[in-house]
C-alpha cells in the first residue's frame, strides 16, 4: 500500500454536492434580494469556506450581512440541501477495500462537522471512518491548514510518514503542504485542471479508478 492513513475531503471528492450547495446559495441570495446566478455559474463556491464565497457574491465585507447569508444558506441546507447529494461511483467500494487492507480513514472537510456526519451516515459511509472532522458552526477549523493540523493529532506517531490528503481543490493542496504531508488531487471534482496543476500536488488522478490504482499499486501504476 502506498499510504496507511488517508485524510479525505468530502465535497467533490467523496460526494457530488452541487445541487444542494448551489440551490441553498440561490435560496440565501433570493431571501436577501440579490441577483441569483445559474447553478453552473456557482460551481466555484464548492470547496472554499462559505463566508469567503459570500464576500464575493455579495461584494461586501459586512460581517452582519455575511452572517445573515450563511444563516439563510444553512436554513435550507440543513433540511434539504445536504440530501441533494450523490456519492461518486466506486467510492464506497474503494473505502471498504482500503479499510480491509488496514488503512485508516479520516475525514477532513471544511464543511461543518454536524452536516458532514449526517451526510456520511445517510450514505452509509460513516462506518469506514475512524475520525470525522469538520469545521464548527462558529467558523473554527474552516481553514484547511488548521483543520488538517487538528486531524493529524489523531494519527499514530509511527504512521505519520505514510499519511496523505485526498481532495479536489487547491485549498486541499495548500493545507496538506502546510502540514508537510503528501496530497493527491482528484480531477473528477470541482477544481479545474489549471487550478490543480498550478497548485502542484504530488499526484493528480482523473477518476476513481485511477485513484484506486495509485493507492493500491503506487505511482508506477499511473500512465502518463
Active site members: 9
The number of helix segments (H) and strand segments (E) in the chain equals: 9, 8
Backbone angles phi, psi at 64, to 5 degrees: -65, -45
Rounded Cα–Cα distance for residues 187 and 193 (Å): 7
Q: Please, what is the Cα angle at 110 between 109 and 112, to 5 degrees?
A: 95
Give the sheet arrangement for strand 163-167, strand by strand: 129-135, 104-112, 5-8, 163-167, 182-186, 203-205
140-176 as b/e: b if 16+ CB within 10 A: ebbbbebbbeebbeebeeeeeebbbbbbbbbbbbbbb
Rounded Cα–Cα distance for residues 169 and 185 (Å): 7
Residue pair 185/205 in contact (Cβ under 8 Å)? The answer is yes
Instruction: Measure CA of the first residue to CA of the last residue in the chain; give whole Å.
Output: 21
CB burial of residue 111 (10 Å; 0-12, 13-18, 19+): buried
Rounded Cα–Cα distance for residues 141 and 199 (Å): 21
Amino acid at each position: 500500500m502506498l499510504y496507511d492513513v488517508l485524510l479525505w475531503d468530502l465535497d467533490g471528492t467523496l460526494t457530488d454536492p452541487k445541487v444542494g450547495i448551489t440551490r441553498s446559495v440561490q435560496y440565501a441570495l433570493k431571501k436577501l434580494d440579490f441577483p441569483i446566478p445559474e447553478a453552473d455559474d456557482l460551481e466555484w463556491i464548492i470547496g472554499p469556506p462559505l463566508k469567503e464565497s459570500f464576500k464575493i457574491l455579495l461584494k461586501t465585507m459586512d460581517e452582519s450581512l455575511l452572517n445573515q447569508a450563511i444563516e439563510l444558506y444553512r436554513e435550507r441546507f440543513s433540511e434539504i440541501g445536504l440530501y441533494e447529494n450523490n456519492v461518486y461511483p466506486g467510492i464506497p467500494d474503494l473505502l471498504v477495500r482500503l479499510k480491509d487492507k488496514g488503512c485508516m480513514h479520516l475525514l477532513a472537510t471544511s464543511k461543518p462537522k454536524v452536516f458532514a456526519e449526517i451526510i456520511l451516515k445517510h450514505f452509509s459511509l460513516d462506518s469506514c471512518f475512524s475520525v470525522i472532522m469538520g469545521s464548527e458552526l462558529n467558523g473554527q477549523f474552516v481553514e484547511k491548514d488548521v483543520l488538517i493540523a487538528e486531524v493529524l493529532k489523531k494519527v499514530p506517531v509511527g504512521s505519520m510518514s505514510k499519511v496523505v490528503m485526498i481532495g479536489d481543490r487547491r485549498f486541499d493542496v495548500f493545507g496538506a503542504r502546510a502540514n508537510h504531508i503528501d496530497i493527491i488531487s482528484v480531477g473528477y471534482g470541482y477544481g479545474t485542471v489549471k487550478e490543480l496543476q498550478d497548485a502542484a500536488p504530488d499526484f493528480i488522478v482523473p477518476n476513481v479508478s485511477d485513484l484506486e490504482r495509485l493507492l493500491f499499486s503506487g505511482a508506477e501504476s499511473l500512465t502518463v
